[in-house]
Amino acid sequence: MPVHTSDLLKRLIDEVPKDTVDLDWLLGHLQKRAFGLLLLILAIAIIIPGLGVVASFAMVFPAVEMLLGRDRPTLPHFLTKRPFAAQRFTKWAARALPVLRAIERVSRSRWHTPAAATKRTLGLLVLLLVLSGIWPLPLINVVPAITIAVLAIALLQEDGLLLAVAFSVGILSLLAFGLLVWKSADALEHLFSS
């Protein structure tokens, strides 16, 4: 029987070092679910105040590696060794557990998709979502982060149905972001042409 993602996250919470934690420690505990669990952890970190920019920047690397069809994620040393408070990680991961468990009650392995093509397509979508979430607007990173988290869960659970739903939400999020940028540019053009 496959181990649930929530069980892996709970294990990480139980084994977290006392003072600080870094991405190197997290990557060492990801087992074969490296991309999915790394995306999930980084998506949670994006929402944490003070970690959003670093986590968004860090997520570009696994997204590009997925797009290139790599087997496992690697990150630059300066990112993997950057420490952050273990208590902060534990707090936010603990908050994510009930949501994750609720999703796992309805998510299961179904609608299997071609692994290589799925990984590459997800890499492109995650990259676009991350780029849309780094604009300097309040709370603009929340919807992309939640969408990436659900995509990661779908990848971890091998749930093609959840993947299709999250993928659709991601596309709609990108379309809404494009509309926002277009309307903002239009408003600025009217402001400066007056």
Q: Which DSSP state fits 76?
A: -
pLDDT of amino acid 86: 83
pLDDT of amino acid 138: 67
Please answer whether residues 174 and 127 qualify as being in contact, where contact means their C-beta atoms are separated by less than 8 angstroms.
no
Taking the chain (194 residues) in consecutive chunks of 10 residues, what is each chunk's mean pLDDT?
A: 75 86 77 79 84 85 91 77 82 84 81 84 94 76 90 87 93 90 81 76
Note the pTM of the prediction, 2 decimals. 0.74
Please give the single-letter amino acid code of residue 144. Answer: P
DSSP SS3 for 83: coil
Please answer whether residues 120 and 71 qualify as being in contact, where contact means their C-beta atoms are separated by less than 8 angstroms.
no
**Alpha carbon of residue 92 to chain centroid:** 14
